[in-house]
């Protein structure tokens, strides 16, 4: 097991409905030393890519993305969630369905922060069905930029997102891939990588 898998086993809580709760170290209270290890690992895995920007989505991706960005020495842009629909123009927009909140959000990035010159590493905390990632990819494409790679902390391998994104040809790296979890026993199975 790697450092993140060990931490998930130690402090993660398996909930009904295929939800893994990691709010004691990842997406509510945040363990910045752990984030730093994650940043170093992503830097290693994407070392050959000319990354000049990190893109994530609010809210829980932002903390991880900031620490990862320090390892790459580049800025972070986060896509903002908004309910309003009349914000075309100076913004790139995409629609994202939330796995945890079961609602649709429009996400926006101001055009001045993303362009065809950008080589983007997309970072997020979880990958489930891949809606969040598809939205972020669409935003980079609208800007004419290049998705150099995608770094995920925890992929739920039993949901479709990872397969869909890899089949689209993107270089997707997940630090932990959960292949199964049992809410009654709390048992978590990881994919060998």
| Binding residue ranges for 5-phospho-alpha-D-ribose 1-diphosphate | 128-132
Of residues 86 and 184, the one with the C-beta less far from ligand 5GP: 184
Tokens representing residue 31 in the block: 């363990």
Q: Does 20 bind ligand 5GP (CB under 6 A)?
A: yes
Binding mask 42-61 for ligand 5GP (x = CB under 6 A): ------------------x-
State the minimum distance, in angstroms, from the CB of residue 189 to ligand 5GP.
Answer: 14
State the minimum distance, in angstroms, from the CB of residue 176 to ligand 5GP.
Answer: 12
Please report, for residues 45, 57, 177, 185, the alpha-carbon distance to residue 163 in angstroms, rounded to integers and kept in the order given.
Answer: 19, 21, 12, 27
DSSP secondary structure string for all residues of 5-36: HHHHHHH-EEETTTEEE-TTTTSSS--HHHHH
Of residues 143 and 176, the one with the C-beta less far from ligand 5GP: 176
Of residues 9 and 19, the one with the C-beta less far from ligand 5GP: 19
Of residues 65 and 131, the one with the C-beta less far from ligand 5GP: 131
Q: Are 131 and 97 in contact (CB under 8 A)?
A: yes
Enumerate the known binding-site residues.
Answer: 20, 27, 128-132, 156
Q: Which helix (H) or strand (E) holds 142?
A: helix 131-143
Residue 95's φ and ψ, nearest 5 degrees, are -105, 135
Enumerate the known binding-site residues for xanthine.
Answer: 20, 27, 156
Helix (H/G/I), strand (E/B), else coil: 49:
coil
Tokens representing residue 49 in the block: 């890519």
Positive or negative torsion for Cα 79, 154, 49, 141:
negative
DSSP summary character for residue 95: E
Residues between 105 and 144 that touch ligand 5GP (CB under 6 A) = 124-132
Nearest to 148 by CA among 35, 45, 37: 45
Q: Does 66 bind ligand 5GP (CB under 6 A)?
A: no
Of residues 133 and 143, the one with the C-beta less far from ligand 5GP: 133
Binding mask 81-100 for ligand 5GP (x = CB under 6 A): ------------------xx
Residues that bind ligand 5GP (CB under 6 A): 19-22, 27, 60, 99-100, 124-132, 156, 161
């Amino acid at each position: 097991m790697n450092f993140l898998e060990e931490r998930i086993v130690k402090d993660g809580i398996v909930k009904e409905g295929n939800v893994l709760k990691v709010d004691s170290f990842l997406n509510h209270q945040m363990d910045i030393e752990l984030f730093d290890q994650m940043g170093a690992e992503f830097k290693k895995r994407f070392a050959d890519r000319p990354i000049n920007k990190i893109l994530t989505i609010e809210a829980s991706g932002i903390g991880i993305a900031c620490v990862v960005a320090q390892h790459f020495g580049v800025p972070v842009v986060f896509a903002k969630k908004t309910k309003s629909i009349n914000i075309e123009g100076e913004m790139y927009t995409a629609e994202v369905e939330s796995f945890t909140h079961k609602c649709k959000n429009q996400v926006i990035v101001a055009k001045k922060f993303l362009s065809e010159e950008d080589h983007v590493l997309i970072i997020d905390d979880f990958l489930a069905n891949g809606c969040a990632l598809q939205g972020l990819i669409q935003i980079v494409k609208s800007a004419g930029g290049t998705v150099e790679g995608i770094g995920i902390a925890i992929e739920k391998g039993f949901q479709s997102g990872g397969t869909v994104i890899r089949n689209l040809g993107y270089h997707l790296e997940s630090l932990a891939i959960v292949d199964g979890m049992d809410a009654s026993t709390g048992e978590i199975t990881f994919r060998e990588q």
